[in-house]
């Protein structure tokens, strides 16, 4: 089903309120008011902040794991979901591995019962991806899974994702794409980095061989901003990266495999700039119920708008802090917590964040 037909079905089933909210949200993302009458169309809920891998590029390794960690309880999940209306997409991963949460199936069932048409999905590292469990999640209402592999070879997988069994994860993917009965759409995902930049086309071919429904690539980011060239994981040669990406995209077209590339930066990808829409349409909830601005700011100990266990979402959504942050971003006064994020900067308006610069080093570089 295409996105348009899915939306039309949702609109027909869910009625006028849903359609009106869709229009208001789309307008809000464009006009960027500080106070919102619309509800977000996208929600990301971190069902756990625990993980069974230690990938080199993950914020858990580069910025550190959150100071308090745990699985979200089913009761809290229900309490939180009950505070939202008219959403269309529910993402159930955050700074951890969602399949570790023992209540995941029940959470998906709850979400699916609340609204049959909401698209529910998550990314996983695939270690716990057993066919029986995936079948149960699909029966509960799961629509899509992205398996993060980051590699087309065992050697590269181990360099990035650690000493885990690449072949086994691949076999598990093969098993779930050939499940009979309800099963989610399955995609494989790669964060493009120096160790895997030569494997993009093989990654697409591997996706076709595994029988997945999509292949997605995204730029390396630690705060939604591609990392600097001195990061050992960052792609060193941009020309090679562009060539490899074009080859991979062409191969995906030949294989008729949907191919998605999330490009982050105007420097890496000339002409690419996506202004922040998260503050208007895509909030993030941590495992213990804190509301944060987006998935690039999942550390509630650093910043949160409040605790959904105590204050309802609707109140926080238009709280003074949220409104102030939206107003600042719109004016180009980049909020402290957003410094370093590419979405906060608008090259067209000259709003360029300077937070990463080291004035002393710059002085020395100036002739």
Ligand X SMILES: C[S@@+](CC[C@H](N)C(=O)[O-])C[C@H]1O[C@@H](n2cnc3c(N)ncnc32)[C@H](O)[C@@H]1O
**Interacting residues with ligand X (CB under 6 A):** 51, 57-58, 93, 95, 97, 123-125, 148, 189, 191, 218, 220-222
Closest to ligand X by CB, 93 vs 103, is 93
Rounded alpha-carbon distances, angstroms, from residue 60 to 51, 54, 64, 165: 9, 7, 4, 21
Q: What tokens does 272 get?
A: 């690419």
Judge contact between 83 and 314, C-beta under 8 A.
yes
Q: Considering the complex, what minimum distance in angstroms separates the CB of residue 160 from ligand SF4?
A: 9
Judge contact between 140 and 109, C-beta under 8 A.
yes
Q: Considering the complex, what minimum distance in angstroms separates the CB of residue 280 from ligand SF4?
A: 26
Q: Quick one: what does residue 218 bind among ligand SF4, ligand X, none, with the CB cut-off 5 to 8 Å set by partner type?
A: ligand X
Judge contact between 224 and 273, C-beta under 8 A.
no
Q: Considering the complex, what minimum distance in angstroms separates the CB of residue 149 from ligand SF4?
A: 11
Comparing CA positions, the residue from 10, 35, 9, 13 lying closest to residue 24 is: 35
Judge contact between 214 and 149, C-beta under 8 A.
no
Q: Which residues bind ligand SF4 (CB under 6 A)?
A: 51, 53-55, 58, 60, 96-97, 125, 148
Rounded alpha-carbon distances, angstroms, from residue 121 to 47, 106, 214, 225, 255: 12, 14, 14, 24, 24
Q: Considering the complex, what minimum distance in angstroms separates the CB of residue 54 from ligand X?
A: 11
Closest to ligand X by CB, 60 vs 86, is 60
Closest to ligand SF4 by CB, 195 vs 275, is 195
Q: What are the beta bridge partners of residue 191?
A: 218
Distance CA 29, CA 34 (A): 11
Q: Considering the complex, what minimum distance in angstroms separates the CB of residue 182 from ligand SF4?
A: 25
Q: What tokens does 320 get?
A: 């003074």
Closest to ligand X by CB, 97 vs 244, is 97
Closest to ligand SF4 by CB, 222 vs 251, is 222
Closest to ligand SF4 by CB, 53 vs 176, is 53
CA angle 337, 94, 34 (to 5 degrees): 40
Q: Considering the complex, what minimum distance in angstroms separates the CB of residue 287 from ligand SF4?
A: 12
CA angle 246, 249, 252 (to 5 degrees): 150
Q: Quick one: what does residue 54 bind among ligand SF4, ligand X, none, with the CB cut-off 5 to 8 Å set by partner type?
A: ligand SF4
Distance CA 10, CA 86 (A): 10
Q: What tokens does 237 get?
A: 């040669």
Q: Quick one: what does residue 292 bind among ligand SF4, ligand X, none, with the CB cut-off 5 to 8 Å set by partner type?
A: none
Pairing outcome for strands 89-91 and 119-124: parallel
Q: Considering the complex, what minimum distance in angstroms separates the CB of residue 217 from ligand X?
A: 10
Helix or strand (DSSP H, E) at 9: helix 3-14
Q: Considering the complex, what minimum distance in angstroms separates the CB of residue 264 from ligand SF4?
A: 16
Distance CA 283, CA 286 (A): 10
Helix, strand and coil percent figures for the chain, each rounded to 5: 40, 15, 45
Closest to ligand X by CB, 58 vs 152, is 58
Closest to ligand X by CB, 152 vs 191, is 191
Q: Quick one: what does residue 220 bind among ligand SF4, ligand X, none, with the CB cut-off 5 to 8 Å set by partner type?
A: ligand X
């Amino acid at each position: 089903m295409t996105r348009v037909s899915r939306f039309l079905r949702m609109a027909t089933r869910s009625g006028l309120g849903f359609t009106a909210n869709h229009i208001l949200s789309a307008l809000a993302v464009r006009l960027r008011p500080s106070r919102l009458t619309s509800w977000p169309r996208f929600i990301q809920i971190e069902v756990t902040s625990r993980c069974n891998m230690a990938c080199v590029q993950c914020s858990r390794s580069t910025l550190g794991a959150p100071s308090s960690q745990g699985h979200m309880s089913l009761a809290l999940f229900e309490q939180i979901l009950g505070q939202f209306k008219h959403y269309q997409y529910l993402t159930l991963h955050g700074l951890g591995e969602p399949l570790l949460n023992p209540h995941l199936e029940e959470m998906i069932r709850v979400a699916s019962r609340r609204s049959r048409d909401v698209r529910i999905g998550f990314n996983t590292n695939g270690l716990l991806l057993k066919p029986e469990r995936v079948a149960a999640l699909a029966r509960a209402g799961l629509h899509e899974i992205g398996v993060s592999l980051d590699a087309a070879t065992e050697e590269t997988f181990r360099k990035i994702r650690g000493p885990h069994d690449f072949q086994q994860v691949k076999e598990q993917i093969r098993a779930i794409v050939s499940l009979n009965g309800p099963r989610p759409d399955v995609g494989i995902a790669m964060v493009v980095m120096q160790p895997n930049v030569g494997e993009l086309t093989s990654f697409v071919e591997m996706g076709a061989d595994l029988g997945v429904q999509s292949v997605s690539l995204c730029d390396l980011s630690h705060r939604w901003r591609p990392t600097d060239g001195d990061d050992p994981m960052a792609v060193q040669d941009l020309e090679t990266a562009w060539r490899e990406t074009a080859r991979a995209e062409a191969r995906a077209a030949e294989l008729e495999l949907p191919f998605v590339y999330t490009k982050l930066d105007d420097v890496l990808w000339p002409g690419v700039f996506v202004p922040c829409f998260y503050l208007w349409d895509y909030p993030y909830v941590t495992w213990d119920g804190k509301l944060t601005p987006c998935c690039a700011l999942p550390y509630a100990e650093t910043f949160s708008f409040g605790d959904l266990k105590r204050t309802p979402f609707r109140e926080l959504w238009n709280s003074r802090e949220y409104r102030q942050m939206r107003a600042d971003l719109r004016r180009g006064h980049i909020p402290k917590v957003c410094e370093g994020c590419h979405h906060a900067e608008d090259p067209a308006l000259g709003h360029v964040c300077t937070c990463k610069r080291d004035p002393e080093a710059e002085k020395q570089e100036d002739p």
